[in-house]
Amino acid sequence: MSGFSKHKIVEISTITENAFLVKFERNGLNFIPGQYIVVGIVGDFNTREYSIYSGANEDYIEILVREIKEGYLSQKLKKLKQGDFLIVYGPYGEFVLDERDKNTKEFIFIATGTGISPLHSIVKSFPTIDYKIIHGVRYREESYGINDYNPGKYIICASKDKSAHFYGRVTDYLKDFEPNSNQIFYISGNNMMITDVISMLKKKGVKVKQYNLEIYF
């Protein structure tokens, strides 16, 4: 893998018990909202893909990291401090908005867990688009960046928390959802969720050209 750059860490901030944000200097890194980067630590050969969480017009880059107890890199990232350096490759990916759709389409963003990252970047970059986010989590506290969305545009679907907007999984919420031909779906998260959502949308008449996918695992 070639074409890397070094970036100094500005801050590591805890979001929940199992998730944190890594903020680092842009150092000339430009990206299209929705893209991802490959991140590593100086002196370490291990890398991992992370969607960019921050908006394209901000003077820093952020990634949202879910801490995995058996995960090598997430554990290493959490222990980094301000002033440490990351190695970054990219950006990559085509999970981005079509310029022709921005002012004419309604965007339905569907995500689970940290799969919200590319969608958060898109909304932060293009706050005037017509959108609705359906975010599947376990608990309400995992509604990362909730204050960055317009009121009523962000639906929390929590499988283990009755205090959320909707008690149940994303697929449960979508059972009563009626799509239309002017909607474009951006779906980001685990493979099982994406497979189930696509199956449901197809049965509701959504065409292949109406959705874009970003599979996390």
Domains within the chain, CATH numbers bracketed: 4-92 (2.40.30.10), 106-215 (3.40.50.80)
Sheet with 211-215, strands from edge to edge, namely: 166-167, 154-158, 130-137, 106-112, 183-189, 211-215
Residues of the chain with pLDDT under 70: 1-2
Paired tokens of 74 = 């997430």
Q: Are strands 85-92 and 36-41 parallel, antiparallel or unpaired?
A: antiparallel
The predicted pLDDT at position 2 comes to 54
CA distance 143 to 162: 14
Q: Are strands 19-25 and 106-112 parallel, antiparallel or unpaired?
A: unpaired
Is the sign of the CA dihedral 167, 173, 176, 179 positive or negative?
A: positive
List of E strands, 17-84: 19-25, 36-41, 47-51, 60-66
CA distance 217 to 215: 6
Share of the chain above pLDDT 90, in %: 92
> Considering the entire predicted model, what is its pTM?
0.95
The predicted pLDDT at position 1 comes to 52
What values do phi and psi take at 78, rounded to 5?
-65, -25
Q: Are strands 106-112 and 130-137 parallel, antiparallel or unpaired?
A: parallel
The predicted pLDDT at position 104 comes to 96
**Between the CA of residue 89 and those of 52, 53, 83, 137, what are the distances in Å?**
12, 16, 19, 29
CA distance 97 to 162: 33
Paired tokens of 63 = 């990634």
